[in-house]
Amino acid sequence: MNAHDYVMQANGSFALPDACFKVKALMERDDSTIEDFANVISIDPSMTSRLLQMANSAIYSFPGEISTISRAITIIGTQAIYNMMLVDVAATAFKHFSNQSIDLKRFWHMSIFCGLATKNLAITSGIRDIERLFVAGLLQNFGELIVAKISPELAKRCEAYNDNILPWQLQEQVLGFTYTDVSAELLKVWQIPEKIILPIRHYNNAHSIEINKDVKVLYLASRLALAECHPEEFSYDDTVDAKLCQSLSMATDDLNDAADFARIETENILNIMNASFYGK
């Protein structure tokens, strides 16, 4: 099977909820109101609870308690709400994922860390709309979960990467494509904007192609996440292309700052997402 075949076979298990499509449709209309968004979200108790929890979290540091959906949407913004719904799909998938072919604790930690590091590096690079890059960083390796569900024996083989063969190189050997290829195909089926899909599709080749800053930033963040989760095997110096840093006018201190930010905030994000599936 190719990457698209995996997505078609798994799409029922990783379907985007109707509320996501409704929110996306509202975002595309010029006459949508906060109340329109609130009406869509309010019919989902889980999403309502998560939204209020996020609005009242330290991430936004808003003075006073946010107790209504409309106020929470005003504080967070509709794009961030939509992104949060995408993240929620990922969280739900983890809750119902039971096979042992991959290390789920490592997978989730790496995904959250990559999303946060991508967001931080985007700020450093002067990129606007950083929330979409958080989503790109978080979901860039979601294809691993799909392959593990459909072909657990192949996913298990792809777990055996080390400093001699990087994860995406091993995936190419075993599958003929990478997990990020599957992720990009799934997001395409979900009708996610191309500006989120593009960096996911191309970042592993960022050292050899010139596209945009998004691709380079996601490349750097993914390498930081790899080193963070496997410090005994990988280091920044071994995995990060110094030329890419130079092209973004980034120094080693910027990478360290991004890693520190991601390390500190990962636990907060996991709590916000009600990550009861986290290694338990």
Take residue 40 and report the two structure tokens written for it.
Answer: 């869509």
Q: Are 145 and 96 spatial neighbours (Cβ–Cβ below 8 Å)?
A: no
pTM, full prediction: 0.79
Topology of the domain covering 3-272: Hypothetical protein af1432 (1.10.3210)
C-beta neighbour count of 19 within 10 angstroms: 16
| Burial zone of 63 (CB within 10 Å; 0-12 exposed, 13-18 middle, 19+ buried) | exposed
Name which residue leads in pLDDT, 80 or 66.
66
Query: With 80 as the cut, is the pLDDT of residue 57 above it?
Result: no
Confidence of residue 60 (pLDDT cuts 50, 70, 90): low
* C-alpha pair distances (Å), 252 with each of 24, 214, 274: 38, 19, 33
Instruction: Indicate the domain borders of the chain.
Output: 3-272
| Phi, psi (degrees; rounded to nearest 5) at 165 | -145, 115
Confidence of residue 151 (pLDDT cuts 50, 70, 90): very high
Per-residue burial over 91-105, b = 16 or more CB atoms within 10 Å of its CB, e = otherwise = bebbeebeeebbebe
